Chain A
Amino acid sequence: MKKLLAALVGSMALATAPVALSAEATKELKMAYDADPVTLDIHEQLSGGILQLSHMTFDPLVRWTKDLGFEARLAESWERVDDKTMRFKLREGVKFHSGNELTTKDVKFTYDRLKESQDFKAIFKPFSGINIIDDYTFELVTSEPFPLLLNTATYIFPMDSEFYSGETADGKKKDAILKHGNSFASDNLSGTGPYVVTSRQQGVRMEFERFADYWDEESPGNVKKIVLTPIKENNTRVSALLSGGVDFIAPVPPTDLDRIKRDKDSELVTMSGTRIILFHMNQERVEAFKNPKVRQAIAYAINQEGIAAKIMKGFATPAAQLSPAGYQGHNESLKPRYDVEKARQLMKEAGYEDGFTITMMAPNNRYVNDDKIAQAAAAMLARINIKVDLKTLPKAQYWPEYDDRSADMMLIGWHADTEDSANFYEFLTFCTDADSGAGQYNAGNYCNPEIDALVEKANVETDLDKRAAMLQDVEKRLYDDAAFVPLHWQDLAWASKKNVKIEPILNVMNFPYLGDLVVE
């Protein structure tokens, strides 16, 4: 029975590390997220929580900068050999927590494991192979010309191959990825990242300590010890910050924004996010939705600014398309079009003047204010005689209903794993095709082969400017056809004590680079 609190995880790393800690890492940070990582195996699940853990305990080859550019991390430099291969130069002298040296065999081990992982294999589908040139240079090869190679490279966090090979005492393979069991990797961790996990009690507490041998000396981070406590209830989490129990919390619910602004010794940081929230109108279930005029009428009836201002308390950016600003597909010209008169007029033209009744479903604990947004939308539709029977469900019950498409209008939010517009269309607007997996979340059964073809072409277009023009054209067509009803991009918010300088380490993907955090 493992001793719980004091179990030193990946302890060998600390034991062998030289005693002299870098002088300036002395501060302690107490933080609270709404959930703690479900496992230490960063390939077991593709979720925000696991990626946040990866950035604390591992380092990617390249990582996103604040303005969606790329920053060299473990890959010192890279250059494109031809339109299907990219050569990377690995940084030298980087140590793992276990003391092993980072070499290309670790990158290969990680690449193979990613190809095995159920969650990550879809993202790495375009990759055909990895060539090892020598200890510190390797090449990534794709089957087709793939413009998003670097985007995907941000998901490669080299793992300590030696540490994760061989078998455990009771004969289990150390590198196994177990979804529901207890694998070696889910409890032990050795990465190159700034922090080592010193103790963990699932759902209660997690402690990290600064890795003495961290390769990135220039990192300004001076936090020696981090204690992470998951606090599920929004109210309690905000109270914990205000009562001084913790120094840094995320996420911050929109309702508590001004309470934190008013508090003199805490600081609030908000950023517009990249997760789009939208409604699908199921054309197969409701005859009227087949008519573009009716879809446009609904688009005109929904007041995105009102929802963003009143329900989200200004904590969301009203949207008229899928791609957020900064994405290649973002089309400046598309603006939210709230106009109840025009909506009524369109309904009259489409012959549905006295409206009809539809069912609507939304989750109540998946996205920020999801149930309140659905209620507001239902009220807005009632103004153009569309009577809505709304049902909100907890997320565990909601997704099976979503897969069965059991309501006429359904709410969904989507964040592009590749931080690129194409991902939105592939999952949300492509004609649904079971075996290729396209349009898996297209609850509107919207199908426009022309637009799908345009996106396919963009996917193999390596000239970024041309690619951007194509993607923006796709957004325009979807807008004109009112394929779905976009609402807003959910903003991100973090809050901390005044002396904890979180602003520089935060980014739009919500992966705080805690390694570089400075606490005065």
Chain B
Amino acid sequence: MTTATLSRWNRFRESFLWYSFRRDKVAIVSFLVLILMVLAAVFAPLFAPTDPYDLAQIDIMNSELPPVGMQGADSAFPLGTDAQGRDMLSTILYGTRVSLLIGFGAVVLQAALGILFGLLAGYLGGRVDSILMRIADVQLSFSTLMVAIIVGAVFKASFGNLMFGEIAIYMLIFIIGIAEWPQIARTVRASVLAEKKKEYVDAAKVMGFRTNRIMFRHILPNTLSPIFVIATVQIANAIISEAALSFLGLGMPETQPSLGSLIKSGFDYIQSGSWWITLIPGLVLVVLVLVINLLGDWLRDVMNPRLYKG
């Protein structure tokens, strides 16, 4: 039975990835929950009863209503309302969208920078490697918070304050992207150093391929598995970093809340009665990040060839 040229779909169905996914209940549940949340977030305008960004719909008089099921609840607001009288359900949907946008956006930026610098440092080695790694060290000594303060200040200086509302999302993606690219760069560099020793790289050199063709067409595909693994963890980290920045008042503005800034705005109320303003978005954030981390774990065990034998 010679291996017929299986279509891409068959190859996927046959692959170990699909096989272990089917058998790993945790992975299935996490994946479904993630898909559910992403869909709910993307189609927020459809599901959300009210549009939290349209200030006219918000009435201060029904602020801090408890979720349905507790006394004093109002059926129009299933999950209750926040301090401003905004419907929690719709604000959370929009907030999840913002958080996911920031999470994925930041990681895409991190991956782009990380892969580029990681490949260059790993493959070229020598002076390029030490320079890039020094830059990475300097970068790592800036925690996300400091980068946020610095970039925030530069943005304000150049664009002035009024523009801040619209560009907050892109700025946060830029901040978290800049702050954390060394993590991916180090991983890529480590696996490139390992791959570089292998014969197929010498074979490619012998065939006279140009350096960047070797790097991107040959070495990069082989380092994809660690990148995938760290990328999922970084998405979870990015969402948590945004929440931390919002807690310190450097994240999203109140008018366009992300999950993090929702938690922050409810923070004062948590111990004084209306605990739901912080805890419900907090719960959503924890579930979202948990699901991504679980998928990351599963991916790591599947992708990591060495563990495959175990």
Enumerate chain A interface residues (CB-CB to B < 8 A): 234-235, 238-239, 253, 255-259, 303, 306-307, 310-311, 359, 361, 364-365, 371-372, 375-376, 378-383, 387-394, 397, 401, 406-407
Instruction: Give the shortest distance, in Å, between A399 (CB) and chain B (any CB).
Output: 13
Closest residue on chain B to residue A242 by CB atoms: B271
Pairwise interchain contact A394-B249, C-beta atoms closer than 8 A = yes
Instruction: Give the shortest distance, in Å, between A202 (CB) and chain B (any CB).
Output: 22
Instruction: Give the shortest distance, in Å, between B279 (CB) and chain A (any CB).
Output: 14
Indicate if B147 sits at the interface (CB-CB under 8 A): no
For the complex, give the distance between the alpha carbons of A485 and B273 in Å.
31
For the complex, give the distance between the alpha carbons of A391 and B270 in Å.
25
Pairwise interchain contact A407-B162, C-beta atoms closer than 8 A = yes
Residues of B within 8 A of A393 (CB): 161
- In chain B between 254 and 297, which residues have their CB closer than 8 angstroms to a CB of chain A? 254-255, 265, 267-273
Indicate if B72 sits at the interface (CB-CB under 8 A): no
Indicate if B226 sits at the interface (CB-CB under 8 A): no
Pairwise interchain contact A235-B273, C-beta atoms closer than 8 A = no
For the complex, give the distance between the alpha carbons of A388 and B254 in Å.
13
For the complex, give the distance between the alpha carbons of A259 and B268 in Å.
12
Pairwise interchain contact B55-A379, C-beta atoms closer than 8 A = yes
* 14 A–B contacts from the bound complex (CB under 8 Å): A235-B270, A258-B273, A310-B61, A310-B85, A361-B161, A378-B55, A379-B84, A381-B55, A389-B162, A390-B165, A390-B253, A392-B253, A394-B249, A401-B161
Indicate if B31 sits at the interface (CB-CB under 8 A): no
Residues of A within 8 A of B60 (CB): 303, 306-307, 310-311, 376, 379-380
For the complex, give the distance between the alpha carbons of A406 and B270 in Å.
34
For the complex, give the distance between the alpha carbons of A385 and B85 in Å.
19
Interface size bucket, B side? Answer: 20 to 34
Closest residue on chain B to residue A364 by CB atoms: B249
Instruction: Give the shortest distance, in Å, between A410 (CB) and chain B (any CB).
Output: 12
Instruction: Give the shortest distance, in Å, between B77 (CB) and chain A (any CB).
Output: 14
Q: Do A256 and B271 form a contact, CB below 8 Å, given A389-B162, A391-B162?
A: yes
Closest residue on chain A to residue B84 by CB atoms: A375
Residue from the list B56, B85, B271 in contact with A382, Cβ < 8 A: B56
Closest 7 pairs (CB-CB, A-B)? A382-B56, A382-B55, A379-B58, A379-B55, A259-B272, A255-B272, A256-B272
Residues of A within 8 A of B267 (CB): 235
Pairwise interchain contact A311-B83, C-beta atoms closer than 8 A = yes
Enumerate chain B interface residues (CB-CB to A < 8 A): 54-56, 58-61, 63-64, 83-85, 156, 160-162, 164-165, 249, 253-255, 265, 267-273
Pairwise interchain contact A235-B268, C-beta atoms closer than 8 A = yes
Pairwise interchain contact B161-A391, C-beta atoms closer than 8 A = yes
Instruction: Give the shortest distance, in Å, between B17 (CB) and chain A (any CB).
Output: 46
Pairwise interchain contact A389-B165, C-beta atoms closer than 8 A = yes
Instruction: Give the shortest distance, in Å, between B56 (CB) and chain A (any CB).
Output: 4
For the complex, give the distance between the alpha carbons of A239 and B271 in Å.
9
Pairwise interchain contact A235-B254, C-beta atoms closer than 8 A = no
For the complex, give the distance between the alpha carbons of A397 and B157 in Å.
11
Residues of B within 8 A of A361 (CB): 161
For the complex, give the distance between the alpha carbons of A393 and B60 in Å.
22
For the complex, give the distance between the alpha carbons of A371 and B249 in Å.
11
Closest residue on chain A to residue B56 by CB atoms: A382
For the complex, give the distance between the alpha carbons of A299 and B273 in Å.
32
For the complex, give the distance between the alpha carbons of A359 and B164 in Å.
12
Instruction: Give the shortest distance, in Å, between B255 (CB) and chain A (any CB).
Output: 6
Pairwise interchain contact A306-B61, C-beta atoms closer than 8 A = yes
Residue from the list B161, B249, B268 in contact with A234, Cβ < 8 A: B268
Instruction: Give the shortest distance, in Å, between A427 (CB) and chain B (any CB).
Output: 24
Instruction: Give the shortest distance, in Å, between A308 (CB) and chain B (any CB).
Output: 10
Residues of B within 8 A of A391 (CB): 161-162, 164-165, 253
Closest residue on chain A to residue B269 by CB atoms: A255
For the complex, give the distance between the alpha carbons of A104 and B295 in Å.
79
| 16 more A-B residue pairs beyond the given contacts A235-B267, A238-B271, A310-B61, with a C-beta to C-beta distance below 8 A | A234-B268, A235-B270, A239-B271, A255-B268, A255-B269, A256-B271, A258-B273, A311-B60, A378-B255, A379-B56, A379-B60, A379-B85, A391-B161, A391-B253, A392-B253, A407-B162
For the complex, give the distance between the alpha carbons of A57 and B38 in Å.
61
Residues of A within 8 A of B272 (CB): 238, 255-259
Pairwise interchain contact B162-A372, C-beta atoms closer than 8 A = no
Residues of B within 8 A of A256 (CB): 268, 271-272
Instruction: Give the shortest distance, in Å, between B160 (CB) and chain A (any CB).
Output: 8
For the complex, give the distance between the alpha carbons of A330 and B307 in Å.
79
Pairwise interchain contact A235-B61, C-beta atoms closer than 8 A = no
Closest residue on chain A to residue B266 by CB atoms: A255
For the complex, give the distance between the alpha carbons of A61 and B272 in Å.
42
Closest residue on chain B to residue A259 by CB atoms: B272
A303, A371, A380, A391 interface centre (most CB from chain B within 10 Å) = A391
Residue from the list B54, B56, B255, B268 in contact with A375, Cβ < 8 A: B255
Pairwise interchain contact A406-B161, C-beta atoms closer than 8 A = yes
Closest residue on chain B to residue A388 by CB atoms: B55
Closest residue on chain B to residue A384 by CB atoms: B56
Instruction: Give the shortest distance, in Å, between B270 (CB) and chain A (any CB).
Output: 7
Residues of B within 8 A of A389 (CB): 162, 165
Pairwise interchain contact B84-A376, C-beta atoms closer than 8 A = yes
For the complex, give the distance between the alpha carbons of A253 and B268 in Å.
8
For the complex, give the distance between the alpha carbons of A375 and B253 in Å.
11
Residues of B within 8 A of A380 (CB): 60
For the complex, give the distance between the alpha carbons of A364 and B265 in Å.
11
Instruction: Give the shortest distance, in Å, between B60 (CB) and chain A (any CB).
Output: 5
For the complex, give the distance between the alpha carbons of A239 and B161 in Å.
35
Residues of B within 8 A of A253 (CB): 268
For the complex, give the distance between the alpha carbons of A381 and B265 in Å.
22
Instruction: Give the shortest distance, in Å, between B127 (CB) and chain A (any CB).
Output: 42
For the complex, give the distance between the alpha carbons of A382 and B84 in Å.
14
Residues of B within 8 A of A387 (CB): 55
Q: Do A371 and B254 form a contact, CB below 8 Å, given A253-B268, A310-B64, A394-B249?
A: yes
Closest residue on chain A to residue B267 by CB atoms: A235
Residues of A within 8 A of B249 (CB): 364-365, 394
Residues of A within 8 A of B85 (CB): 310, 379
Residues of B within 8 A of A388 (CB): 55
Instruction: Give the shortest distance, in Å, between A496 (CB) and chain B (any CB).
Output: 18
For the complex, give the distance between the alpha carbons of A105 and B25 in Å.
86
Residues of A within 8 A of B164 (CB): 391
Pairwise interchain contact B162-A235, C-beta atoms closer than 8 A = no
For the complex, give the distance between the alpha carbons of A238 and B272 in Å.
10
For the complex, give the distance between the alpha carbons of A387 and B255 in Å.
13
Pairwise interchain contact B84-A235, C-beta atoms closer than 8 A = no
Residue from the list A238, A255, A258, A372 in contact with B84, Cβ < 8 A: A372
Instruction: Give the shortest distance, in Å, between A50 (CB) and chain B (any CB).
Output: 26
Residues of A within 8 A of B255 (CB): 375, 378, 390
Residues of A within 8 A of B61 (CB): 303, 306, 310
Residues of B within 8 A of A359 (CB): 162
For the complex, give the distance between the alpha carbons of A390 and B56 in Å.
14
For the complex, give the distance between the alpha carbons of A310 and B274 in Å.
13
Residues of A within 8 A of B56 (CB): 379, 382-383
Closest residue on chain A to residue B248 by CB atoms: A394
Pairwise interchain contact A311-B271, C-beta atoms closer than 8 A = no
Instruction: Give the shortest distance, in Å, between A280 (CB) and chain B (any CB).
Output: 17
Closest residue on chain B to residue A398 by CB atoms: B161
Closest residue on chain B to residue A374 by CB atoms: B254
